[in-house]
């Protein structure tokens, strides 16, 4: 009979809390959790999301340790637990940026003999905290994984096997550098644009005049400012490049409007339509 999976989760907010609930529901795993707020840890325990606290003792029992904290806190936590992690364990972070966290994680793993891989669960909502967590959050989602070497087939199989019980339907393998470059466009830019868009004075009068376009564009304006400040600054080089491209594009639309240039405006709109077809079919 296969041994029951033991999972440790540091950070019991939306992502960590959802992971805990998913591993309990889908795999019947033993789950240990840590949160800087003892109250959250106790609530998670009472609700059945975790079996107990992730501590110096229980870390030694874990097959998989997932760290769902901000990047700086993740690095600090990794440094704290590294001497305690069993050599048989896989440790993954769940941060939205990868370069600094992976550099620290790979170095600590080499020093202490365990295995580390970067991770980024591609799922979420505009809500935050354990109260918003759900065992279904990752159903059908992709886990982006950043191993130190992309040709370690045994490790890639191990990552896939260990994350599937949370509901992930696929695993994408990349480097930390490529992850941060792409995520600046697919995630971080969307949050910046949404957050800036909603600041128009007209927004207060949208009711009765808005439908899907408004909802889609403003959904992620309702964000966690502390988390996204940390992620934006961590990836500022890539995000600045995407912002500069976007601002240049916006200025072209503005110029066409200001000059009443219908041909140019139509060309810009058609260019965007065709680009959407190219990238998404």
Domain holding 153, by residue range, is 6-174
Nearest to 113 by CA among 87, 133, 142: 87
Are the C-beta atoms of residues 183 and 96 closer than 8 Å to each other? yes
Check whether 1 has a pLDDT greater than 60: no
What is the per-residue pLDDT for 209? 87
Helix (H, G, I), strand (E, B) or coil at 129: coil
Model confidence pLDDT, tens digit, residues 179-227: 999 999 999 999 999 999 999 999 999 988 888 899 999 999 998 899 9
Q: Flag whether 25 is in a domain.
A: yes
Do 113 and 23 belong to one domain?
yes
Do 19 and 108 belong to one domain?
yes
Q: What does the alpha-carbon distance between residue 158 and residue 270 come to, in Å, rounded to a whole number? A: 45
Q: Flag whether 236 is in a domain.
A: yes
What is the per-residue pLDDT for 2? 56
Are the C-beta atoms of residues 101 and 74 closer than 8 Å to each other? yes
Q: Tell which of 144, 174, 204 closes a domain.
A: 174
Model confidence pLDDT, tens digit, residues 214-245: 999 999 999 889 999 999 999 999 999 999 99
Q: Flag whether 124 is in a domain.
A: yes
Do 29 and 101 belong to one domain?
yes
Q: What does the alpha-carbon distance between residue 87 and residue 120 come to, in Å, rounded to a whole number? A: 23
Please, what is the average pLDDT of the chain? 95
Mean local confidence (pLDDT), 123-130: 85
Do 151 and 26 belong to one domain?
yes
Model confidence pLDDT, tens digit, residues 251-270: 999 999 999 999 999 999 99
Domains held by the chain: number: 2
Do 168 and 187 belong to one domain?
no
What is the per-residue pLDDT for 32? 98
Other C-beta atoms closer than 10 Å to the C-beta of 25 total 16
Model confidence pLDDT, tens digit, residues 18-74: 999 999 999 999 999 999 999 999 999 999 999 999 999 999 999 999 999 999 999
Do 211 and 90 belong to one domain?
no
Do 46 and 185 belong to one domain?
no
Q: Flag whether 1 is in a domain.
A: no
Give the predicted TM-score (pTM) of the model. Answer: 0.91
């Amino acid at each position: 009979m296969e041994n029951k999976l033991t999972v440790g989760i540091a950070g019991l907010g939306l992502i960590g809390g959802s992971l805990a609930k998913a591993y309990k529901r889908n795999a019947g795993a033993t789950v240990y959790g840590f949160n800087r707020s003892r109250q959250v840890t106790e609530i998670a325990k009472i609700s059945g999301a975790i079996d107990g606290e992730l501590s110096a003792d229980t870390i030694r029992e874990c097959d998989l340790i997932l760290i769902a904290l901000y990047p700086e806190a993740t690095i600090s936590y990794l440094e704290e637990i590294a001497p305690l992690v069993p050599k048989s364990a896989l440790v993954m972070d769940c941060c939205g940026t990868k370069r600094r966290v992976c550099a620290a994680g790979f170095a600590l793993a080499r020093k202490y003999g365990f295995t580390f891989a970067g991770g980024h669960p591609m799922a979420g909502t505009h809500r935050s905290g354990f109260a918003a967590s759900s065992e279904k959050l990752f159903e059908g989602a992709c886990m982006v994984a950043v191993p130190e070497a992309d040709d370690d087939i045994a490790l890639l199989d191990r990552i896939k096997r260990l994350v599937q019980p949370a509901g992930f339907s696929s695993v994408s393998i990349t480097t930390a550098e490529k992850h941060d470059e792409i995520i600046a466009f697919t995630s971080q830019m969307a949050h910046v644009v949404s957050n800036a868009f909603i600041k128009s004075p007209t927004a207060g009068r949208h009711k009765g005049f808005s439908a899907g376009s408004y909802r889609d564009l403003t959904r992620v304006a309702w964000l966690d400012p502390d988390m996204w400040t940390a992620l934006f600054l961590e990836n500022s080089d890539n995000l600045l490049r995407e912002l500069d491209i976007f601002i240049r594009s916006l200025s072209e639309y503005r110029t066409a409007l200001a000059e009443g240039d219908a041909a140019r405006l139509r060309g810009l709109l058609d260019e965007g339509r065709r680009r959407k077809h190219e990238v998404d079919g």
